Amino acid sequence: MIEEMSKIQIIGTRTLLDECIRTMHALSVVHIENVHQGKTPERFIQKIPLNPDKIEERKSLQKSLKGLEDLLDLFTKPRDTTRKTVPYHSIQDTLDTLTPIENKTKELHYKKDSLEEELGSVGRYERILKVFAPMISKLGSFKSIDTLGITIERSKIEVLELLEEEINKATSGSYMLYKRSVDDKLTGVLIAHSKSSGDDIKKLLTGEAINEVVLPDDYRELPFLIALTKMVTKKEEIPGKIKEVNLKLNSISGEWYKIVLGARTAILDALEELGTINYCGGSKHSFIIEGWLPKGKLYEVKESFEETFRGNVMVRELAVSEIEEANTPVLIKNTRIVRPFEIFLGFLPTPHYRSVDPTPWIAIFFPIFFGLIVGDLGYGAVLFLIGIYLRHRLSKKPLLRDMMEIMCVSALSAMIFGAIFGELFGNIGKDIGAFTHPLFDRAHTLKVFLSISIGIGVGHIFLGLIIATINYLGRRKFVKALEKASMLFLLTSFLLIIAMKLDFLPSIATFPLIISSLVFLVLLIVLEGVLGVVEFIKAISNILSYTRIMAVGTASVVLALIANKAGSMVDNIVLGITITVLFHTVNIMLSVVTPSVQSLRLQYVEFLSKFYEGGGKKYLPFKKND
């Protein structure tokens, strides 16, 4: 339901403003709004600016917040992320303590990045150096000989012959050349030459197909064989060093993550308190704060302010005009059973204050429509068990937990209607003698099932119009109430005439009903114009939309029967059971999606359109960060 709200005004001396804001923040129930300057002459009320000290404080806090968020990014997030409370007066001490921790963390991350970069570098060169190693070992330990490694694309290996001719000329035949396949794309070539001809040979290494093997800086001055040995050693050592760094990072994160999170939250709260000053008005020596809170919390807030300020700050309830009431923030509060269904309001605009919260009605009709469509004791039991299991697993995720609770309630509805329809995984219940005489066999009484679906539609639409009429009467919007009442009586007269024509009712009052239909139609046109006729036709269409309960429900029955029939047609019992289970699994999956979509459609399009008013403002209390 939509909670009744009170508008309050808090008045005090300017010296108490900061403490007043902190008190409101701790209470976490006041929805603060800008003070309306038009109610009092502007020379008495003006916006309260931040003084220079507050501006500097805000800049310092914003800088500290950025540093803490960067530090959190460096930490490894632990499993338990419950923050430790850091009082506002302890923020600076906490930040001073965290400075060496931040430096140590950055140092470890730099070390880890360097190790990972080195590991990647070693991995890239190791494959090529292993190809060159056997060739280098053939050269022995000639001190006057130098080596040069290159790779050539195998698709352009013909350039090697031209290169060798040029090398022969540059060294006057004093060289040795070895080649070996690196992979299916590259050929490794090792050139042994006198140290004096090294520059001449390097000048020849041009062209897209030829690439000199240039070692990383740490290995560039070493001979290839020694470089290879050091690289292999490094490759074996580096993962252990990275693991050691990670252990240190995890240790620091486990010790300090919660404290950093607490300091971050304290700074966010402090920044919000500073920002709240912009909503305040006042004079040179006083301040005024205006806002909204649930009426049931008014006494608690007054008592808290009286205890804290001993009469130096006044909290008073303001009279609310009709214009102001339209802008009243909306707080929806329901019982524990109904609350999970509030997630369906997330797809709708916030309801208007003083209008109707549809959550309790959705909590009633969504499971009923779901159960009518699924209508299988076995399917319902499977969905209920899945829902119970997932609800337990997702208990720390409120949105998903609520969805699973809705699924459990809807599954129970499916089980109840399954018992009424005599369906247990299709016709298996009847085959084993569990449901020999069901209360209602929907698979063989489609005409009756269709009539029930339309009857449910009539009741649902009428209920929506009745809710709207009562709500408008309570808000003294008599024209709107008359519009809804006229639509209700027009539909009643029209449907009674149809029932008589179809021989569902005796034709004893046809003429009076025709007259009343015309009267209410004229009244509707007077009140709403041509739109009234459109709404009437739309209402008839809405009622017919409920035939989807029968259509989709019957489709579910047929799929279950097909599953059992397909399994029984196979001679192999194991294969038959496998086929049956597979078909039922698919149908159960469809039984989650399709009935949910159809039930929601009937709620949103057909039912809520009769009374739901959006355009409200969400209640956002000034509260501490979680």
Residue spans per domain, the chain: 116-237
The pLDDT of residue 324 is 80
| Structure tokens, 58 | 């805000």
User: What pLDDT band is residue 37 in, cutting at 50, 70 and 90?
Assistant: very low
- Report the relative pairing of strands 5-13 and 186-194 from DSSP bridges: unpaired
Burial class (CB in 10 A: 0-12, 13-18, 19+), 131: buried
153 phi and psi angles, rounded to 5 deg: -65, 130
Q: For residue range 351-397, what is the model confidence (pLDDT) as tens digits?
A: 988 899 999 999 999 999 999 998 889 899 999 999 999 998 888 88
pLDDT at 143 (0 to 100): 54
Beta carbons within 8 Å of 504's beta carbon, 6+ residues apart: none
Q: pLDDT at position 173, please? A: 77
Average pLDDT over residues 343-347: 88
Report residue 142 as tokens: 């000639």
Averaged over 205-229, what is the pLDDT?
A: 66
Query: So what's the pLDDT on residue 411?
Result: 93
Percent of the chain with pLDDT over 90: 22
Tokens of 548: 């989807």
Chain length of the chain: 626
pLDDT for residue 449: 87
Whether the pLDDT of residue 38 is over 50: the answer is no
- Report DSSP state, residue 298: H
First to last CA, the chain: 25
pLDDT in tens, 512-541: 778 887 888 888 888 888 888 888 888 889
Provide CB contacts within 8 A for 576, sequence distance 6+.
567, 568, 569, 570
Predicted confidence at residue 427, as pLDDT, reads: 78
The dihedral formed by the CA atoms of 446, 452, 455 and 460, expressed in degrees to the nearest 10: -120
Whole-angstrom Cα distance, residue 404 to residue 401?
5
- Whether residue 133 is predicted with pLDDT greater than 80 in this model: the reply is no
Query: What topology does CATH give the domain 116-237?
Result: Alpha-Beta Plaits (3.30.70)
Token pair 């679906």 is found at 453
DSSP for 511-557, please give it. HHHHHHHHHHHHHHHHHHTHHHHHHHHHHHHHHHHTHHHHHHHHHHH
Q: Which helix (H) or strand (E) holds 56?
A: helix 52-74
Residue 345, token pair as written in the block: 């309001």
Q: Which residues pair with 8 in a beta bridge?
A: 291, 317
Q: 23-27, 57-61, 171-175: lowest mean pLDDT where? A: 171-175
